[in-house]
């Protein structure tokens, strides 16, 4: 009886097993299809993200490059120069693409690729321009340095020329003659003497040598007489000074004459000491316009 029931249940069992196997197979294929769809979705999402990322990077790079373009344009304007037509055209093309991408009028991968290509080209041109500007800046710096050196040389030459002219224009005394005089007791006529105690006056005469470089006109000539003790004799009007080599120097008396660039004989001048002279050497120096024209030494007994 029991064996007969088992025989009757076997077909049902086999049917259930077959149904379960079918369900497992269907579930397996459904799961595989789901995984495929999920993988496709992930890939599509990744592609979209990469595309968006590439778009944002391109736009960022475009904005940076346009800013660089404007900085270079301002720098050129400061040098009275302007951007080339080629650079202007490339910048305008990039600005147009950027505007289209931002407005979603053109956001395909080919448009972004086109923008990247144009960015690469413009960047290369700007780098080339900056290198040229750097070279021009270096050359300009060199020119400024050379110009500065030339200006220094010109100033030096001008200073030297001025010094040479100053030296050349200095008046020189020639035929300087110093006579020590006394009057004869009986006749009252003047006669020369080298006895210090007998000297009553100095008669000084000289010529101004021809000089075509010097300025013609009225000249003030200072006569300085220094005694054996190194003291300069002072004229009747008291102590008087003139400038010599940037310092104040005493003089005995002065003579005013007119010089016309030709050799001129200055009228002899007379100086009378206030007291008797001492034995020794007397130095007679002639000055004009801050320099010495000539000198002579006289030895009195």
Tell me the domains of the chain and their CATH numbers: 2-139 (no CATH), 173-300 (2.60.40.10)
State residue 37's pLDDT score.
56
Is the pLDDT assigned to residue 40 strictly greater than 70? no
Q: Burial letters for 213-230: b for 16+ Cβ neighbours within 10 Å, e otherwise?
A: ebeeeebebbbbbbbeee
**Count of residues for the chain?**
301
Q: Above pLDDT 90, what percent of the chain?
A: 22
Nearest Cα to 55, choosing from 120, 113, 122?
A: 113
| Bridge partners of residue 204, in order along the sequence | 178, 269
Asked if residue 72 lies in contact with residue 129, where contact means CB atoms within 8 angstroms, the answer is yes
Q: How confident is the model at residue 104 (pLDDT cuts 50, 70, 90)?
A: low
| Mean pLDDT (whole number) for 105-110 | 60
Q: What is the pLDDT of residues 58-83, one digit of tens each?
A: 777 767 777 777 777 777 666 667 77
Residue 39 has pLDDT above 60, yes or no: no
The pLDDT of residue 194 is above 50: yes
Q: In this predicted model, which residue has the larger pLDDT, 85 or 14?
A: 85
Q: What is the SS3 string spanning the chain?
A: CHHHHHHHHHHHHHHHHHHHHHHHHHHHHHHHHHHHHHHHHHHHHHHHHHHHHHHHHHHHHHHHHHHHHHHHHHHHHHCCCCCCHHHHHHHHHHHHHHHHHHCCCCCCHHHHHHHHHHHHHHHHHHHHHHHHHHHHHHHHHHHHHHHHHHHHHHHHHHHHHHHHHHHHCCCCEEEEEEEEEEECCCCCCEEECCCHHHCCEEEEEEEECCCCCCCCEEEEEEEEEECCCCCECCECCECEEEEECCEEEEECEEEEEEECCCCEEEEEEEECCCCCCCCEEEEEEEEECCEEEEEEEEEEC
pLDDT at 85 over 60: yes
Instruction: Tell me the mean pLDDT in the region 4-16.
Output: 65
Nearest to 208 by CA among 263, 269, 267, 289: 263
Q: What does the pLDDT average to over 142-148?
A: 81
Q: Which has more confidence, 30 or 282?
A: 282
More confident residue, 20 or 286: 286
The listed range with the strongest mean pLDDT (3-12, 158-167, 217-226) is 217-226
Looking at residue 285, its pLDDT comes to: 95
Q: Decide which of 129 and 232 is more confident.
A: 232
**Which residue would you say has higher pLDDT here, 251 or 146?**
251
**How far, in Å, are 40, 49, 95, 236, 250 from residue 226 at the CA level?**
120, 107, 93, 16, 10
Question: What's the pLDDT band for 88 if we cut at 50, 70, 90?
Answer: confident
List the end-to-end C-alpha distance of the chain, in Å, as a whole number.
Answer: 187
* pLDDT at residue 49, as a whole number: 45
Give the model's pLDDT for residue 299. Answer: 92
**Structure-model confidence comparison of residues 4 and 61, the more confident one:** 61
Does residue 50 have a pLDDT over 50? Answer: no
Pairing of strands 190-192, 253-259: unpaired
42 pLDDT band, cuts 50/70/90, is: very low
pLDDT band at 154 (very low <50, low <70, confident <90, very high): confident
Task: Give dist(CA 178, CA 195) in Å, integer.
Answer: 14
How far CA 59 is from CA of 52, 98, 103, 105, in Å, comes to 11, 6, 12, 14
pLDDT digits (tens, 9 = 90+) for 200-252: 999 999 999 999 888 889 999 999 999 999 889 987 766 688 898 888 899 99
pTM listed for this prediction: 0.51
The listed range with the strongest mean pLDDT (32-36, 72-76, 145-149) is: 145-149
Summary mean pLDDT of the chain: 78
């Amino acid at each position: 009886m029991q064996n007969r029931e088992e025989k009757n249940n076997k077909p049902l069992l086999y049917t259930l097993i077959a149904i379960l196997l079918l369900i497992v197979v269907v579930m397996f294929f459904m799961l595989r299809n789901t995984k495929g769809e999920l993988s496709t979705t992930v890939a599509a999402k990744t592609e979209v993200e990469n595309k968006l990322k590439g778009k944002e990077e391109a736009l960022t790079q475009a904005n940076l490059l346009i800013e660089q373009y404007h900085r270079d344009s301002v720098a050129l304007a400061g040098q009275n120069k302007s951007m080339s037509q080629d650079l202007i055209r490339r910048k305008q093309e990039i600005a147009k693409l950027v505007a289209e991408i931002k407005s979603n009028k053109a956001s395909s991968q080919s448009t972004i690729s086109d923008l990247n290509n144009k960015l690469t080209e413009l960047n290369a041109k700007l780098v080339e321009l900056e290198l040229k500007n750097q070279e021009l800046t270096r050359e300009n710096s060199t020119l400024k340095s050379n110009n500065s050196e030339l200006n220094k040389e010109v100033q030096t030459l001008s200073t030297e020329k001025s010094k040479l002219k100053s030296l050349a224009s200095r008046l020189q005394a020639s035929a300087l003659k110093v006579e020590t005089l006394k009057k004869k007791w009986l006749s009252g006529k003047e006669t020369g003497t080298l006895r210090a105690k007998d000297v009553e006056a100095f008669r000084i005469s000289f010529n101004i040598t021809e000089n075509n470089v010097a300025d013609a006109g009225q000249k003030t000539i200072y006569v300085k007489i220094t005694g054996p003790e190194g003291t300069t004799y002072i004229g009747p009007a008291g102590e008087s000074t003139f400038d010599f080599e940037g310092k104040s120097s005493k003089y005995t008396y002065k003579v005013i004459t007119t010089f016309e660039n030709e050799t001129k004989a200055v009228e002899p001048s007379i100086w009378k000491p206030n007291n008797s002279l001492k034995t020794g050497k007397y130095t007679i120096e002639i000055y004009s316009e801050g320099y010495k024209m000539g000198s002579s030494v006289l030895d009195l007994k």
